[in-house]
Amino acid sequence: MEKKTFYISTPIYYPSSNLHIGHTYCTVAADAMARFKRLQGYDVMFLTGTDEHGQKLQRIAEQNNMKPIEYIDKIVDGVKKLWATMEISYDDFIRTTEERHVKRVQKLFMQMYEKGDIYKSSYEGLYCTPCESFWTETQLVDGKCPDCGRPVETMKEEAYFFKLSKYQDRLLDLFENNPEFLEPESRRNEMINFVKQGLEDLCISRSTFDWGIPVPIDEKHVIYVWLDALSNYITALGYPDEPEKYNKYWPADIHLVGKEIVRFHTIIWPAMLMSADLPLPKKVFGHGWILLEGGKMSKSRGNIVDPVVLIEKYGVDALKYFLLREYSFGNDGVFTNEVLLNRLNSDLANDLGNLVSRTVSMIEKYDGGIIPEHNVPGDFDEDLIAVATGAAAKVEAYMNKMNYSAALDEIWAIVRRTNKYIDETTPWILAKNEEDKGRLDTVMYNLAEAIRIISVLILPFMHHTSKEIWRQLGIAEGEGTGWEDTFKFGLTKVGAKVEKGAPLFPRIDIEKELAALMNMEGTGNAPKQEEKKEEKKEEKKEAEPKAEITIDDFDKVELKTGKILECKKHPKADKLLVSQVKVGEEVRQIVSGVASYYTPEDMVGKTVVVVSNLKPVKLRGEMSQGMILFADDADGSLKFVTTDAADGCLVK
């Protein structure tokens, strides 16, 4: 009989910088689910990847003096290494710059176009010139660009649109009649309200930058990054040209996504699929965020929790367990080192670690390290057996609701019950009387057997620990280690040899450890936001001194004098001026963001200082070959840096 399939995906991550623990959270959850379903016998497809197009990435690469793909390759390498360290069991990793993805997105675009769902029009929006980004009214912060805080202006450009509005009723119907499509419930209500307010057609192409997949019918445009990104869920399966995997796994069972991208996955993505006449994913689950006490994690603020730092200190299994046990998956949670350490100590070192080490030590001591017979039932056995064999069904029910924390708690109910069983049966007293040996052996056997069940149930979450337990208890993989074996009591082999090992999870001295973490990067201990702001103010007063450089550093910059011959306003951006500057023999075009300070007439005739070896860039479609220097005056104005020298002289 063919195995039942199960397809789960994570979002594809932006390779703008290294991933932090927030990104890791979703991937760890997807990994645990994939492993759980594999344990249950499903044929699993687990997809993750990277979302590599768009203006932001292009700009970041430029800032790093790299080609986009060079920069991205480097980050993607790091992402793959992180997943290898965390032993993420994905079946495929899709990069949106891969040929297989690009050609398939273009085909999907054409399918939607041929359906009559894509048309050309013009896009008018609020535009931030320095960031080269359009924003909606609601995205603005105090009426200004949410990224840089500068004023925005109204701009118009030609673009392609997707008839999203056409699918409004079908989407509403989807939310209202398929409650399982979007979970948790609260997010469903949000989306229903959003759709009810009315959907506008979606602008799906950009022509102001070129780091993207070209629109197949108009190469001046690139496809809007979300259309490109969302398609990954089917392009990775080979849709439409190699549909074997697509036919096998689509529709997806679960798209796991963070709460802020639920809207893209439950409105735009289904509408795209409706347009292409394809089935919809069965479920989108919008999980909460991991926050720090000061709010969101942010690379620029330096308050990042780096999973690698935690793994090096506590191990992969501990981190995975913590993430899925501590936080309720649908809600936000706050990460602190104290919460982490307390959880590791109480659940892993004390509860599970102690149970295993006590049991193995007792079997060594009382039975020479050999799993004994179990012929003398007694008090407490029945309850222990009921708890141990009754957990799997509950774990399964919780996992199907994506309630990882409750599933783990259910497994820990066995751990706690088994520890209690030791206290109740008092093996050390039984060991004193030869006539109690039969009962003592049965207690030892029952302990080993309860631990076997625990070890299989934790396999999807912490497989190293499972395997170490098997090693210590003399269990061979495949013998009592399957999903069905967690419902049965009595599978541990009499006569197997146990072998003590190092503690599964060493106990942590919390005070000492917290003090050590305080001074470590990547543990979320950067100064809180307010303190940072204060520091910034201080820096400002002192004219923001930069780090010392050597003469060799300075030597890299080539400064020359240049005479501004002509100047005009940038045709597409109110803040920019485009000057023709004579630098010795050559005339260069230089774009400057100074239109709020000077008119083109003010510029013409000045001999200024120019950075002449700056890499040329296109700014809103106009080439800029250098930079004119200005002085930031104390009164907030901008002053020319002029000179008496002729143009073309080296400034040194």
Binding region for ligand MSP (CB under 6 A) = 11-14, 22-23, 25-26, 51, 229-230, 232, 257-258, 260-261, 289-290, 297
Of the pair 94, 475, the CB lying nearest ligand MSP is at 94
- Least distance in angstroms from the C-beta of 27 to ligand MSP: 9
**Closer residue to ligand MSP (CB): 289 or 380:** 289
Residue type (1 letter), 507 = R
Q: How far is the CB of 137 from ligand MSP (least distance, A)?
A: 22
Query: Shortest gap between Cβ of 261 and ligand MSP (angstroms)?
Result: 5
CB of 332 to ligand MSP, least distance (A): 8
Q: Are 512 and 348 in contact (CB under 8 A)?
A: no
Nearer to ligand MSP, 30 or 349 (CB): 30
Nearer to ligand MSP, 465 or 525 (CB): 525
What DSSP string runs through 271-310?
HHHHHTT-PPPS-EEEE--EEBTTBS-BTTTTB-B-HHHH
Return d(Cα 564, Cα 604) in angstroms, integer: 5
Of 260 and 542, which has the nearer Cβ to ligand MSP? 260
Of 580, 548, 535, whose CA–CA distance to 562 is shortest?
Answer: 580
How many CB atoms lie under 10 A from the CB of residue 383?
13
Residue with tokens 């909606």: 136
**Residue 321 CB, nearest approach to ligand MSP (Å):** 17
Answer whether 242's CB lies under 8 Å from 132's CB.
no
Of the two residues 260 and 277, which places its CB atom closer to ligand MSP in the complex?
A: 260
Residue closer to ligand MSP, measured from CB, 23 or 452 = 23
Report the sign of the C-alpha dihedral through residues 77, 79, 82, 88, in that order.
negative
SS3 state at 608: strand
How far apart, in whole angstroms, are the C-alpha atoms of residue 18 and residue 309? 13
**Closest distance of CB 273 from ligand MSP, Å:** 13
Residue 577, SS3? strand
Contact 227, 51 (CB under 8 A): no
**Closest CB to ligand MSP among residues 79, 440:** 79
What is the DSSP code string of 459-524?
Answer: TTT-HHHHHHHHHHHTPPTTSS-SGGGGG-S--SPTTPBP---S-SSPPP-HHHHHHHHHT-TTBS
* CB closer to ligand MSP out of 54 and 427: 54
Residue number, 218 or 332, with CB nearest to ligand MSP: 332
Query: How does DSSP classify residue 261?
Result: G
Q: What is the CA radius of gyration of the chain?
A: 31
State the nearest-atom distance from the C-beta of 15 to ligand MSP, in Å. 8
Least Cβ distance, residue 242 to ligand MSP (angstroms)? 21
Q: Which is nearer to ligand MSP, 6 or 14 (CB)?
A: 14
Owner of token pair 């594809």: 12
Residue 270 neighbours by CB distance under 10 Å: 22
Is residue 581 within 8 A of residue 588, CB to CB? The reply is: yes
Of 26 and 498, CB closest to ligand MSP? 26
CB of 228 vs ligand MSP, minimal distance in Å: 9
C-beta of 173: minimal distance to ligand MSP in Å?
A: 24
The nearest distance, CB 203 to ligand MSP, in angstroms, is 18
Q: What residue number has its CB nearest to ligand MSP?
A: 258
CB of 652 to ligand MSP, least distance (A): 44
DSSP states of 518-557: HT-TTBS-SPPHHHHHHHHHHHHHTT-PPPP--HHHHHT-
Q: How far is CA 230 from CA 31, 221, 223, 263, 490, in A?
A: 20, 18, 12, 12, 48
Q: How far is the CB of 258 from ligand MSP (least distance, A)?
A: 2
Q: What angle do CA 512, 517, 522 make, to 5 degrees?
A: 165
230 vs 408, beta carbon nearer ligand MSP = 230
What's the closest the beta carbon of residue 33 comes to ligand MSP, in angstroms? 15
Q: How far is the CB of 504 from ligand MSP (least distance, A)?
A: 28
Given the complex with ligand MSP, which of 80 and 358 has the nearer CB atom? 80
Q: Please state, in angstroms and rounded to a whole number, the distance separating the CA atoms of residues 291 and 309.
A: 17
Whether the bond between 251 and the residue before it is cis, its omega within 30 degrees of 0, is yes
d(CA 448, CA 11): 40
Tell me how far apart the alpha carbons of residues 590 and 586 are, in angstroms, rounded to a whole number. Answer: 12
| Residues 6+ away with beta carbon under 8 Å from 322 | 340, 343, 344
* Three-state secondary structure call for residue 161: strand
Do 649 and 558 meet the contact criterion of CB atoms below 8 Å apart?
no
- Supply the angle between the helices 404-425 and 437-457 in degrees, to the nearest 10: 170
In terms of CB distance, is 230 or 504 closer to ligand MSP? 230
